[in-house]
Every structure is written in structure tokens, then in C-alpha cells.
Chains A and B, each alone.
Chain A
Amino acid sequence: MTQFPIDKIRNDFPILNEKIRNKPLVYLDNAASSQKPNVVIDCISHVYRHDYANVHRGVHTLSVRSTDKFEGAREKIKDFINAESGKEIIFTKGTTESINLVAQSYGKANIKAGDEILISAMEHHSNIVPWQMLSEQTGAILKVAPINLRGELILDEFIKLIGDKTRLISIAHMSNALGTINPVKQIIAAAHDKNIPVLLDGAQAIPHMPVDVLDLDCDFYAFSGHKLYGPSGIGVLYGKQALLESMPPYQGGGDMIRKVTFEETEYNTLPYKFEAGTPSIADAIALGAAIDYLNEIGMGAVAVYEAELLDYATEQAKKIKGLRIIGEAAEKGAILSFVLDKIHPHDIGTMLDSLGIAVRAGHHCAMPVMDFFEVPATARASFAIYNTKQEIDVLMNGIESLIEVFG
């Protein structure tokens, strides 16, 4: 195996040269949002300087050029997740909008009073609230499958909750608060035995591992560009073509129509049926550039490198007295959530910040997870392709020093 090109990668991310409070930046808040490589930053600038016009509109040269690049990005995303067709790739604002799209389009058309929607106890608010809203609108019931103290889904319990009234399952591929990678293939197989579609919230999984929607056989896959080293404001909903064809539009407007009179409207074909209004054009194209960049490194290599980082961080964290790791699943991505005895996560966050270390302190938009572990919040270090073991040492030294200061 070739060496992971960490030095080259670090050079590709200009923000890593920033000094924070006069210290070199150690950026460990990647689960919230990752930093951007030069190719992404330059791509956005290049689009606006040379290629920008609205898409799918004009006959003029720039509009054609812009459309080609925009649709080219769609094809890159299709290949990246191994979808069958570009028609299955819907551009959205991000994971949240992707999930809301499924809830309001598929959900409203197919879910009725008394029907059940099944999620897990480790979901991000964005995979809870859209289903609560749908339940309020339709009278459906939201069922929540339990997790254990290691932060793992209790698979038997989950399977038991898949019943005759279950109409949709929506679950995180990887948890943002715990790092847990869920046994989604087994869940999907069990769901499909009963003809129930499954949506995977891929916001956390997609930057850390190869994702193959055909192999997973999921019905929907939602993710954001900004956690994948791409711009914020752009995300993706993958859906199986037949399902998307059967669904009503989500929002009305331009681009999603074929013909409009005041009496009736004929909707556009996929994927445009779900893309009302002018999309975030440059951001979509730059997401394509981020994917090119990751393909060069290889998502398999990324997964191997980050597993090493996580193992090292976990090993070092366990040496610190008074530190408790929240989330110790056997299958886990590069997230280390922790609490310290008698030191609140917000104090940890501020203290580490003064050393140039960016971690997240809070409930991570997963308040039910915090309630389950009986903590108000956690501190979370989440790793990316540009992090190093040496940065983990800086983090651990920082934690030990702040424990000393708090005494």
C-alpha cells in the first residue's frame, strides 16, 4: 500500500496555515463542517470569473457552458455514490432539505393516520423533526428504536419494530454525536422483506468511507456538500428512479415545470421535478471538484487513514483520568465524543480554543442522545483527511493541562 499523502493534503488546505490565538490551528470540528481544499475554492472563483450564467435557460454560450458544468457535477456525484443514473441525483441545500423533501413529498403522498415511521435514538435533529412534522400533519406515529450504552443500535429491537404499519425507515448511516456506524445493510434487507423503503442520513458517513448506493440498496441517501470538503449551501438527495418518478413535487417554481398555464401545470422530468428555482450553481460545480479531489486520494485510503487516527485518539484519551468517551461502538467513524469529570464541555471548548484547537462543545443537535447518556453536552473531536497524530497529541496535552487548571 502506498503512503497516505498527508503532507500534500495539508498543503492543499490553505486555512490550515491560520494562526488561532497565536497558535497553529488544530481543526477538529469536521463533523460540523470540513475545511475546503484549493481546488474547491479556486473552482468557485473560476465559475464566477469565466463560466457563470443561469442553467437550463438560455441559448447563449455562457448558459450552455454553465449548464454543462452543472450537469457534469451531477454525473460526478452519480459515479461517486454509484447511482444508476443522473436522474437519481437531486440537488438540494443539504442533508436537512433532502430529508424534508422525502418527508413532505413521499411522506405526505404515502403515509396516513396510524401508519408508522421508524427512526433510531441516535438521530440528529434533522432526522427527527421532519418526521415529527409529518406525523403532526398526517396522524402518523413516530417510532424510535433504542440504543445501548456503547452507543450502538440494538438491532434485534430495531427489527422487532419493523411492523405491518411501518411505512418508512429513516436512519443515520453514521451518528454525528457518537460516531457509530449502523448496520444499515441488515436493516435495509429486513425492511425490503416487508416492502418498506429506507432513507439513509449520510451526512456523516459520506466524508469517511466509500458509499455505494446500489450495494447498500437504500431507497434514499441524503448528504451535504460542506462536510465533504465542498461548499455549504449544496447537498444531494439520491433516490431510486422509480420511487422519485412516483413522488409529487416538493416545491413549485421555475425549472421544475414543463408547461404552465393558469389552469394547469405539467411537471418536468427527473431530476428537475425536484429542483424548483435557480440552484446553487457554482456550489454544485465546486462539489464536483471536491469529489474529483477525493477520488484522487481514494475513499478506501481515507477510511484506512482515519481509522488509524481514531484508534490513536481513543487509545490516548483512555489514558486520561476523569475522561469518559461517549460512544464506544464496535463499528465507528472518526469521531471522539467525550466528557470530563466536573468540567463542563463549554469550558473545555473555550480552553482548547485558546490553544488553537477547534472542537465542538454542546449537544450536537442530538439532544435525545445527550439525555440517554445523562450528560447536558459533550466535547467532540472529529477528524478529517488533513488531521495528524501530532495534532491529536496537541489535543490530549491540552485536555490534560485544562484538567490541571480546573483542579
Chain B
Amino acid sequence: MFDDLRDLYQEVIFDHNRNPRNFRIIENADRKVDGFNPLCGDRLTLYLKMNGDVIEDASFQGSGCAISTASVSLMTEIVKGKTEAEAEALFKTFHEMTTGKDEQVNLEAVGKLAVLAGVREYPARVKCATLAWHTLDAALKNEKQAVSTE
């Protein structure tokens, strides 16, 4: 019945929505930033544990739609063990992939995150996918105030 949506709602997204990874609080987190999407009211809190400039652990709390939950869940998995510079580079690639500005995005570079490429066909949903990454960007830049997708 929802054949048209197969590119957007891939099985991996349903899986991460049902069972979000790293859905917990890091008690001794070095960075803690809130992300907010005023369009839909989605809120999340991102926790990072740093070891030098390496992200040792990442987790989140909050609730949102399937796209945003899957996006933040996948993100916390993939950034673990990455340096700040590597994470920022990934954010840039992810942003290009989801906003569709560059058709030549190397999907291999984003690994599992490629399942979110489908949002580029749904402009109203792009912010659902990018909220997690804007929040990470703020956390890496050590910005204290909550970030918003607007």
C-alpha cells in the first residue's frame, strides 16, 4: 500500500525507530546539547563523552518521528570513535546527501546513513533527518544554548 514510500521508510529506519540505539543518559557527559524542531515540536538531548578530540561515547534522549529518531540513533552509532574533524566531515556529507545539492555524494562514505538519502525527495521532512546532526554540530562547537532547525 505504501510502495511509493519505500525509499523514505526503509526497514532500517523502522528498526531504529522501534529500538533506538544509545537511548540513554551519559551521566558524566562532557557535552550535552538540546535540539529542537519548532515545526513539529521534536526535541532531543544529545550527550557526548570525549577523549581528547575523539568521541568516545554518544547517546540521546527525547522523542520524535521515525525519521528523526532513526537519524539520531544511527548518528550516535556511527560517530563513536571518530575525531571531531571526522564527525564534522560526516555531517557535511550527510547534509549534502539529504538536501540533494550534490547528486554525486559518495554514499559509501556515509555507510548506514545512506538509508536516509530518501528524504531529499521530501523537503518537508529534511529537517527531521538533520536535527540530530545540527545538534551534534553545536555540541562539537561546544555551544551551550539549544539549537533549532529554524
A binds B: yes
Residue numbers of A with Cβ under 8 A of B are 21-22, 343-347, 350-351, 354-355, 361-363, 367, 370, 376-377, 401-402, 405-407
Residue of A nearest to B8 (CB): A350
A residues less than 8 Å from B65 (CB atoms)? 344-347
Q: Are B14 and A406 in contact (CB under 8 A)?
A: yes
Q: How many A-B residue pairs have CB under 8 A?
A: 62
Q: From residue 17 to 69 of chain B, which have CB atoms closer than 8 A to chain A?
A: 17-18, 39-43, 63-67, 69
Interface mask (B100-138 → A, CB under 8 Å = 1, otherwise 0): 000000000000000000000010110010000000000
CB-based contact A350/B125 at 8 Å: yes
The 8 Å CB contact of A350, one of B1, B5, B17, B63, is B5
A143 CA to B42 CA, complexed, in Å: 28
Pick from B1, B9, B14: contact of A401, CB under 8 Å: B1
The winner among A347, A355, A377 for most chain B CB atoms within 10 A is A347
For B5, B41, B124, which residue has the most chain A Cβ atoms within 10 angstroms? B41
The answer to whether B14 and A346 have CB atoms under 8 Å apart is no
Contact across chains for A362 and B40 when beta carbons are under 8 A apart: yes
Q: How far is the CA of A344 from the CA of B62 in the complex (A)?
A: 13
Q: Does A376 contact B122, Cβ atoms closer than 8 Å?
A: no
Min distance, Cβ A76 to any Cβ of chain B, angstroms: 37
Query: Could you say which of B2, B8, B17, B42 contacts A376, with CB atoms under 8 Å apart?
Result: B42
Taking a contact as CB atoms under 8 Å apart, the answer to whether B128 and A346 are in contact is: yes
**What's the minimum C-beta distance from A376 to chain B, rounded to whole angstroms?**
4
Decide if B4 is an interface residue (CB 8 Å cutoff): yes
Given A350-B125, A354-B5, A405-B9, A377-B40 contact (CB < 8 Å)? yes
* Residue from B4, B43, B66, B67 within 8 A of A406 (CB atoms): B66
A351 to B: closest C-beta gap in Å = 6
Look across to chain A and name the residue whose beta carbon is closest to the beta carbon of B122: A350
Q: Within the assembled complex, what's the spacing in Å between the Cα atoms of A361 and B64?
A: 13
Asked if B125 contacts A21 (CB within 8 A), the reply is no
Residues of chain B with a CB closer than 8 A to A402's CB? 2
